[in-house]
Amino acid sequence: MADARMNSPTMNAAERPTKPSAQPNALANHLAAAREEERERIARDLHDILGGHLVAIKIETALLAARLEAEPLRRRARAIQKLLDDALATVSRLTRELRPGILKDFGLGAAIECQAEDFAQRTGIACRIVCADHDIQLPQHAAVALFRIFQEALTNVCKHAQASQVAVRLTQEGDEVLLEVSDNGRGLTAADIDKPRAFGLRGMRERLDELGGRLELHPCHPSGTRLRVAIPLAAAEGSGAERCKGAQPQ
Ligand SMILES: Nc1ncnc2c1ncn2[C@@H]1O[C@H](COP(=O)(O)OP(=O)(O)OP(=O)(O)O)[C@@H](O)[C@H]1O
Ligand SMILES: [Mg+2]
């Protein structure tokens, strides 16, 4: 384990700073940009091709349903229309997640709020935004990285925490941007953090290494987990990336 504190018997969560001196490197930034480009292409295909087909099937089904006379058949047609509506809603949500246009147009604070609303609606877990600073000035690649970390944090809450509530805080403090995601679930252990086949937390650390940031995991009281991410503005600046209000996934 990288941090001796993780072995403390009193700890049921862990803090594991990433390398503070890590310099953002050009290759890592290039790979992150390529990943975002790929997501954007998939989002476009999902929306334009799959979404288009689903709408066409919906129209055909409605035309067919209008000609049906027997009630059992009409009921079947209504069931198909309901499934199509669900599929269209899923395409729309996936498109938003893959290509958070709101991040580009309205900035990180708005994108975080929108994602939290989607999450609450989809999972039934109340997601409260304690604070989402809309004036945060991060370079685009750092904002995209933070947004992806937020998505994985919410996914983890949904998959593992058995929580009923999540609180989110996005602030700029001094020369750092801080994101906190706190849940009231079962909490996590040092063993959870070191699972060999788990990639979510590892991916967060890798993204943060590239930005010279850090990830901390703390227990919440009386129960739950607080995930805390810090990105130094200065370190992110060092990458030479263009500073902008939000982010522009390529
Ligand atoms: N909010 C949370 N509450 C409780 N346990 C958590 C929470 N977040 C993560 N964990 C635990 O930490 C482990 C590691 O999380 P991580 O995101 O790295 O992997 P994963 O979610 O299991 O798999 P993957 O992200 O690769 O699909 C999880 O398997 C889970 O046991
Ligand atoms: Mg995960």
Q: Ligand 2 center to residue 80 CA distance, Å?
A: 33
224 and 175 belong to one structural domain: yes
166 and 107 belong to one structural domain: yes
186 in contact with ligand 1, CB cutoff 6 A? yes
198 in contact with ligand 1, CB cutoff 6 A? yes
150 and 211 belong to one structural domain: yes
Q: Ligand 1 center to residue 135 CA distance, Å?
A: 31
Q: Are 212 and 235 in contact (CB under 8 A)?
A: yes
168 and 232 belong to one structural domain: yes
Task: Report the atom number in ligand 1 closest to the C-alpha of 202.
Answer: 18
168 and 58 belong to one structural domain: no
Question: What ligand is nearest to the CA atom of residue 198?
Answer: 1
- Please tell me the residue having the least CA distance from ligand 1 atom 17: 200
126 and 141 belong to one structural domain: yes
Q: Ligand 1 center to residue 246 CA distance, Å?
A: 28
| Domain end residue (candidates: 96, 113, 135) | 96
151 and 202 belong to one structural domain: yes
181 and 222 belong to one structural domain: yes
200 in contact with ligand 1, CB cutoff 6 A? yes
| Domain ranges, residue 86 | 42-96
Write the CA distances from 174 to 119, 171, 232, integer angstroms: 30, 10, 9
28 and 56 belong to one structural domain: no
Write the CA distances from 106 to 37, 112, 113, 117, 178, integer angstroms: 19, 10, 11, 16, 19
**What is the per-residue pLDDT across 154-184, written as a single tens digit (0 to 9) for each?**
999 999 999 999 999 999 999 999 999 999 9
130 and 202 belong to one structural domain: yes
| Domain end residue (candidates: 50, 70, 96) | 96
Q: Structural domain tally of the chain? A: 2
Residue 223 inside a domain? The answer is: yes
Q: Which residue has the higher pLDDT, 15 or 31?
A: 31
Burial class (CB in 10 A: 0-12, 13-18, 19+), 42: middle
pLDDT of the residue at 7: 32
**Could you tell me the CATH number of the domain that includes residue 118?**
3.30.565.10
115 in contact with ligand 1, CB cutoff 6 A? no
Residue 48 inside a domain? The answer is: yes
Q: Ligand 1 center to residue 231 CA distance, Å?
A: 21
Task: Report the atom number in ligand 1 closest to the C-alpha of 156.
Answer: 8
Residue 246 inside a domain? The answer is: no
pLDDT of the residue at 88: 93
199 in contact with ligand 1, CB cutoff 6 A? yes
Residue 151 inside a domain? The answer is: yes
Mean pLDDT of the chain, nearest integer: 83
117 and 182 belong to one structural domain: yes
Dump strand ranges (E) for the chain: 15-16, 126-132, 165-173, 176-183, 214-219, 225-232
Q: Are 125 and 119 in contact (CB under 8 A)?
A: yes
58 and 147 belong to one structural domain: no
| 79-88, 166-175, 230-239: least confidently modelled range | 230-239
